[in-house]
Structure 1
């Protein structure tokens, strides 16, 4: 139980640091509300679940320095640049209104896809779960399954909480004038993260 608490705390503290997934959930929630952003939340959780499964079953293909991991980092940098520029281009165009019918359903699936891609192309996820896997290497299959289920659930619940908090219509209307600047700041942060990742790869 002590090991579970240590791992659970380490995992939660890692979630508190804003990254590409956080900015995607925030932007989607600002643009379409928390229900639309819930698709991105599920996509991110599924991507984390895939990394957890790979790390806990002993797959080493995503360890730092491997060809696949370097390719993942390059693709991740490209995706960060893409969504960063997207945020900058569309800053201030959030409707703050509800989306209805088929448009809402299509938007939800698109949001899920973007969340899945964001989570998969975030190399921090692969490294983090690989490091956690070393801590549970001697645990039984049952405990590993419990860790995996806990982590998946916490990622999903945390992102949903972020989406609900940011996507609250009353809050959005109150800070409507600041939203374009917040979106631009998110876009700049994503572009900076992409540049830092590319610089890291170039130096390596």
Structure 2
């Protein structure tokens, strides 16, 4: 039980640190509401679940310095640049109206795909779960499955909470004038993250 509490706390504290996934969920929720943004939340959770499964089964692709991991980092940097410039280009064009009908369905599936890409192409996710897996190498398969289910559920629930909080229409209307600046700030942050990742790869 003590090991579970340590791992659960470390995992939750990592979720509190805003990263690409957070900005994607926030942008989706601001733009289309939390129901559409829930697609991105599920995509991010599924990507995390894939990394958890790979880490807990000991796949070497998650080792830093491997060819696959380096390729993942490059793809992740490219995706961060894409999302960041997308946020910057569309800043100020956000509609606070509710998305309805077929548009909402298409938005949900698009969000699912973007969330999946955001989570898979984030090398920090791979390293984080690989480090957690090193703490449970001697743990039984049943406990590993419990850890994996817990972490997947927490990622999904946390992102949904973020989406609901940020996507509240009443709250958004109160600071609608600030939305373009929030979107620009998110875009700049993502571009800076991409630049930092590329710089690290260049030095390595």
Q: Tell me whether the two structures share a fold, i.e. TM-score over 0.5.
A: yes
Give the whole-Å Cα distance in 1 for the aligned partners of 2:99 and 2:13: 34
What is the CA distance between 1:24 and its match in structure 2? 0.2
* 1:29-88 superposed Cα distances (whole Å, 9 cap, x missing partner): 000010011000000000000000000001011210000000000000000000000000
Provide the secondary structure at the position in 2 that maps to 1:177: helix
What is the CA distance between 1:112 and its match in structure 2? 0.3
Give the whole-Å Cα distance in 2 for the aligned partners of 1:174 and 1:124: 35
Give the whole-Å Cα distance in 2 for the aligned partners of 1:87 and 1:36: 17
Which ranges of structure 2 fall in alignment gaps of 5 or more residues?
Answer: none
Give the whole-Å Cα distance in 2 for the aligned partners of 1:61 and 1:27: 31
For the pair 1:196 / 2:196, whether they are aligned, the reply is yes
Question: RMSD over aligned Cα, in angstroms?
Answer: 0.4
* 1:144-196 superposed Cα distances (whole Å, 9 cap, x missing partner): 00000000000000000000000000010001000000000000000000000
Q: 1:114 maps to what in 2?
A: 114
Q: How many residues align?
A: 204
Q: TM-score, normalised by structure 2?
A: 0.99
What is the CA distance between 1:105 and its match in structure 2? 0.4
Which ranges of structure 1 fall in alignment gaps of 5 or more residues?
Answer: none
Provide the secondary structure at the position in 2 that maps to 1:88: helix
Structure 2 counterparts to residues 37-56 of structure 1, below 5 A: 37-56=37-56
What is the CA distance between 1:97 and its match in structure 2? 0.7
